[in-house]
Amino acid sequence: MIQLYWKNATDKVVGDAHGVSQADLDELKPRMCQAHEAVKAQIDAGRLGYAALPTHAGYAAQVKALVDKYRSTTTDLVVLGIGGSALGNIALQAALNPAIYNLLSDARRGGPRLFVLDNVDPAMVSDTLKLVGRRGARGLLVNVISKSGETAETASQFMIFREMLKKKLGDDFASHIVATTDTEKGTLHEIAIADGYDMLAVPGDVGGRFSVLSPVGLFSAAMCGIDIDELLAGAAEMQERIATAPCMNPACRLAAIKYIATTAKGKPTHVMMPYSNRLYPLADWYRQLWAESLGKRVDRDGNEVFTGPTPIKALGTTDQHSQVQLYREGPNDKLTVFLEVKKHPKDVRVPDDFADVPGLTYLRKTKLSKLLSAEKVATEYALAASNRPSVTIRFDEIMPHSVGEFIYLYEFVTSLMGELLNIDAYDQPAVELGKKATFALMGREGYDDVAADIKPFTRVDRNYLS
């Protein structure tokens, strides 16, 4: 079970100007209850597809059927996708498999090595092609994930890997590709039908950033041995916890603190700081969820609001030696969300050495988990000492169940924030212009109007080159 600890975000700890008071919470309560009701009504009306995923047995069954088909013959799984079609995959793998997973032997891993290519960096793509190609391609499975099927980054990678598979395997190439895409339409859907790939669904009513618990995130997780039933059970349990305690659940509490911090306490910057390398990529997943959902120019009434807290990621303890100076003495504009793990999957003890070195004796025989916990409390205390608010999400252990809880919690908090800010949390209109401009620059037909606009940006004005 995960729990939210929020005392250090209160006025009692960081003072009236920066902390959330009981009066603030009481004042917000009617609106928070309305927000919860509104999200619930959208779920009941079937408008928020992500809420159906924790209990959608059909998707899990489809994923498991393909895992049964491919797992024993696959030694390398390459996921091609970007944004919501990749960040969840990366986060699940990092949280629930060892950091050295890809370095283990095939027998020790029990599943394929996993490479999630969420960029078109040519060196990265080239290195990955070489690395997986060295093994021949008989054991290679490519999972191309794209809801639209036309995202330039994913489409180009897909063309490269498809060509590589064709060269190495001839007509058999299609049995080494699984396409996760729209089930009814789209470019990738059409290619998958024509080539004859196995397909998984990106549910039409689930936006990319809310899709990790759909086949988008489940397939690579299950291929790599992660218990997706437990992941979904954790999400379902959080859903139940939220539903059975309207306004009094961790999602409403967290949303209230984040909303009050943003709108009344001058904290438009929301840091997520896991004290666990395993949980660090979940902060990347959160950044997309938060930024694309809440960063909006207009509210639902059409008023220009230019709203949205800025999500930042930091890693404990690493960023204590990098960011915390700014977080304590820079602008008091941040709310920090720590992720803390009570029982780590592994522990290491410092040797009983240097008994005669006064500066090091305190470390003798201590566990690294104890040091990590102490450093987290130290940072919490240091921030509070400078009137900087924080909350902590505590994981008893990093398990599929608790990760599922966390994912659903944050998705629901995002929906609540959307309601409180009165914005559409499910679109991303501002992303489109960049996509169109890329198409224009790359010469795609039908984008001439953008091509004219973008021309001045394609030439370097030497007057400004220093």
**Per-residue x/- track, 221-260, ligand PA5 (CB under 6 A):** ----------------------------------------
Q: In the annotation, is 64 catalytic?
A: no
For residue 448, how many other CB atoms are within 10 A of its CB? 9
- 84 belongs to the binding site for ligand PA5 (CB under 6 A): yes
**Which one of the spans 145-153, 162-170, 190-198, 294-302 is the region binding ligand PA5 (CB under 6 A)?**
145-153
> What is the closest distance, in whole angstroms, from the C-beta atom of residue 289 to ligand PA5 in the complex?
8
> What is the closest distance, in whole angstroms, from the C-beta atom of residue 379 to ligand PA5 in the complex?
31
- 428 belongs to the binding site for ligand PA5 (CB under 6 A): yes
- 332 belongs to the binding site for ligand PA5 (CB under 6 A): no
Rounded CA-CA distance 26/42 in Å is 25
Token duo for residue 84: 């919501």
85-114 positions binding ligand PA5, by CB under 6 A:
85
Residues 6+ apart with CB under 8 A from 338: 273, 274, 275, 316, 376, 379, 380, 390, 391, 392, 393
> What is the closest distance, in whole angstroms, from the C-beta atom of residue 62 to ligand PA5 in the complex?
18
Rounded CA-CA distance 137/16 in Å is 62
> What is the closest distance, in whole angstroms, from the C-beta atom of residue 88 to ligand PA5 in the complex?
10
> What is the closest distance, in whole angstroms, from the C-beta atom of residue 63 to ligand PA5 in the complex?
17
Size of the site for ligand PA5 (CB under 6 A): 14
**Which one of the spans 45-53, 79-87, 238-246, 315-323 is the region binding ligand PA5 (CB under 6 A)?**
79-87
Annotate 66-135 with three-state secondary structure. Answer: HHHHHHHHCCEEEEECCHHHCHHHHHHHHHHCCCCHHHCCHHHHCCCEEEEECCCCHHHHHHHHHHHHCC
* Dihedral pair phi/psi, residue 448, rounded to 5°: -65, -35
Rounded CA-CA distance 117/81 in Å is 7
Nearer to ligand PA5, 214 or 320 (CB): 214
Nearer to ligand PA5, 374 or 430 (CB): 430
Q: Applying CB under 6 A, which of residues 62, 89, 154, 307 lies at the interface with ligand PA5?
A: 154
- 203 belongs to the binding site for ligand PA5 (CB under 6 A): no
Q: Applying CB under 6 A, which of residues 49, 54, 83, 400 lies at the interface with ligand PA5?
A: 83
Q: Applying CB under 6 A, which of residues 71, 162, 209, 265 lies at the interface with ligand PA5?
A: 209
Rounded CA-CA distance 336/334 in Å is 6
> Of 130, 184, 321, 346, which residue is the catalytic one?
321
- 292 belongs to the binding site for ligand PA5 (CB under 6 A): yes
- 207 belongs to the binding site for ligand PA5 (CB under 6 A): yes
Q: Smallest Cα–Cα separation from 154: which of 177, 188, 178, 192?
A: 188
Q: In the annotation, is 18 catalytic?
A: no
- 198 belongs to the binding site for ligand PA5 (CB under 6 A): no
- CB burial of 148-178 (b: ≥16 within 10 Å; e: otherwise) equals bbebebbbebbebbbebbbeebeeebbbbbb
**Which one of the spans 93-101, 102-110, 206-214, 308-316 is the region binding ligand PA5 (CB under 6 A)?**
206-214
- 208 belongs to the binding site for ligand PA5 (CB under 6 A): yes
Rounded CA-CA distance 247/119 in Å is 40
- 269 belongs to the binding site for ligand PA5 (CB under 6 A): no
Q: In the annotation, is 343 catalytic?
A: no
**Which one of the spans 147-155, 278-286, 361-369, 381-389 is the region binding ligand PA5 (CB under 6 A)?**
147-155
Residues in the chain: 466
- 220 belongs to the binding site for ligand PA5 (CB under 6 A): no
Q: Are β-strands 304-307 and 390-397 bridged in parallel, bridged antiparallel, or unpaired?
A: unpaired
**Which one of the spans 76-84, 114-122, 255-263, 438-446 is the region binding ligand PA5 (CB under 6 A)?**
76-84
Mapped onto helix, strand or coil, the DSSP state of residue 406 is helix
Rounded CA-CA distance 284/188 in Å is 26
| Contact between residue 117 and residue 79 where contact means Cβ atoms under 8 Å apart | yes
> What is the closest distance, in whole angstroms, from the C-beta atom of residue 50 to ligand PA5 in the complex?
11
For residue 15, how many other CB atoms are within 10 A of its CB? 13
- 151 belongs to the binding site for ligand PA5 (CB under 6 A): yes
- 148 belongs to the binding site for ligand PA5 (CB under 6 A): yes
Rounded CA-CA distance 11/4 in Å is 17
Report the helix count and the strand count for the chain, using DSSP H and E.
17, 12
| Contact between residue 183 and residue 201 where contact means Cβ atoms under 8 Å apart | yes
Residues contributing to the site for ligand PA5 (CB under 6 A): 82-85, 146-148, 151, 154, 207-209, 292, 428
Which residues are tagged catalytic?
292, 321, 435
